[in-house]
Amino acid sequence: MPTITLFIKASAWKDTVRFYEKILELDIETSDEVNGEIKFNLGDGTWLRLERRQHVLGTDRADSAISTGVTLRVNNIQAAYDDFISKSVTIDRSITELKGTRQFTFRDPSDNLLSIVEVPGGLC
């Protein structure tokens, strides 16, 4: 079963966990606050695991070596975009299209870049 692992900075741990739970509406499968690990169930045998990590290089995006990029697929990108706007998520890049694939990007409270993608032909 595939696992997506996302490493986040310790300084934004609580805000980032709250973001994934409340804004992205992911269900917590397991939680180990002592060791700084939370696993969210994405369905179909896939999980997203957040691990608390210390960020040592600074806080700017340009030198954020531990910042991670994650792409999540949806069937209706406009509905996802509207939902994020209604939840006051700051969008980095509005919906764009390239070769039939539509996407938008945003950042979580730990400055990890996330993309929401709608793939043509229902490949989600």
pLDDT confidence of residue 10: 52
Distances (CA, A) of 82 to 48, 72, 79, 104, 114: 23, 16, 5, 11, 16
Q: How far is CA 103 from the centre of its chain?
A: 14
Each residue's pLDDT, cut to its tens digit, for the chain (124 residues) gives 455 555 565 567 888 889 989 998 989 998 888 888 888 887 776 777 787 766 544 454 444 444 566 778 888 999 999 999 999 998 999 999 988 889 999 988 877 888 899 876 654 4
Strand partners, 48: 4, 40
User: What is the C-alpha separation between 41 and 23, in angstroms, rounded?
Assistant: 15
Question: What pLDDT, on a 0 to 100 scale, did the predictor assign at position 84?
Answer: 93
pLDDT in tens, 79-104: 999 999 999 998 999 999 988 889 99
Whether the full predicted model's pTM is greater than 0.75, yes or no, is no
Whole-angstrom CA distances from 104 to 34, 68, 98 are 34, 16, 11
Domains of the chain listed by start with CATH number: 3-118 (3.10.180.10)
User: How, if at all, do strands 27-32 and 37-43 pair?
Assistant: antiparallel
State the amino acid at position 91 in one-letter form.
I
- Say what the pLDDT of residue 9 is: 57
